[in-house]
Amino acid sequence: MIFDKRILLLFASNVLLLHLMLLVNSSIAFAGFNLLILGPLFIIAPLYLRADQFFITSLLTGFWVDAALPTPFGLVTLLMLSIGSFILLIRLRFRAEKNFHPALLAQIANFITGLTFFYLSISSNFIDFFSLLSTGCIELIISHLVLLGVAPWFFNFQRSLFSIFETKTEPESLPFV
């Protein structure tokens, strides 16, 4: 079956996390930095879904995030598809039912996304490189510290949505079934 209820559940939970991140960023705007907590959006879909369902979820979520963030359109979608495809290929090595491996993968995905956003911000304005570097490092460190608490909560939230809506709660057994 090409359409699974888990696609909509993952999309809705990803939209909720993005909305919460944007609300927090608007409330801490006086501090002069933003939190980047996009790592958990990349993880559960490639760990739990088949390849075709993962691509549908990544496209939906990626286009939604691209429309919400001031980045070049398609950047987050491309990141979600590339990082998710890599995770999909090696997902048998990870324990998706626990929070350790998904949280570690979320930290790595968040770091890659943060570096990509930083690279795009310095390519447009190279004059203020050192001020952008210090702000970018502070934002990345604080984002990763906040992600230590947010990622396990978010993964448990997604798994509880699976059980509430009576969908399959276990990951798919093979990467390309």
Least confident of 11-20, 128-137, 147-156, 161-170: 128-137
pLDDT of 30 over the 70 cut:
yes
Mean per-residue pLDDT for 18-37? 92
Which tokens in the block code for residue 65? 């995030």
pLDDT of 171 over the 70 cut:
yes
User: pLDDT tens-digit profile of 60-72?
Assistant: 999 999 999 988 8
Statement: the pTM of the whole predicted model exceeds 0.85: yes
The whole-number pLDDT of residue 94 equals 85
pLDDT band at 1 (very low <50, low <70, confident <90, very high): low
User: pLDDT tens-digit profile of 102-153?
Assistant: 999 999 999 999 989 888 877 655 666 666 677 778 888 999 999 999 999 9
Residue identified by tokens 């919400």 is: 68
pLDDT of 49 over the 80 cut:
yes
In the chain, the percentage of residues whose pLDDT exceeds 70 is 90
CB 39 within 8 A of CB 86: no
CB 112 within 8 A of CB 8: no
Select from 11, 6, 17, 9 the least CA-distant residue to 110.
Answer: 17
Q: Where in the chain are the domains?
A: 5-164
